[in-house]
Amino acid sequence: MARPRSLNRRQAAERAGRRAEGLAALLLTFKGYRILAWRFRCEAGEIDLITQRGGTIAFVEVKSRPTHDEGLWAVTSVGEARIAAAAGLWQARFGRGFRGTYRYDVVTVARGWPKHHPDAWRPEPGRKDGVNLDIF
Residue 79 resides in a domain: yes
Residue 135 resides in a domain: no
pLDDT at 12: 85
Which residue range is the domain that position 36 belongs to? 5-121
Residue 57 resides in a domain: yes
Residue 96 resides in a domain: yes
List the CATH number of the domain containing 96: 3.40.1350.10
Total domains in the fold of the chain: 1
pLDDT at 29: 98
pLDDT at 9: 86
- For the chain, the three-class secondary structure string (H helix, E strand, C coil) is CCCCHHHHHHHHHHHHHHHHHHHHHHHHHHCCCEEEEEEEEECCEEEEEEEEECCEEEEEEEEECCCHHHHHHCCCHHHHHHHHHHHHHHHHHHCCCCCCEEEEEEEEEECCEEEEEEEEECCCCCCCCCCCCCCC
pLDDT at 50: 98
List of the chain residues with pLDDT < 70? 1-7, 125-136
Residue 128 resides in a domain: no
What is the reported pTM?
0.85
Residue 49 resides in a domain: yes
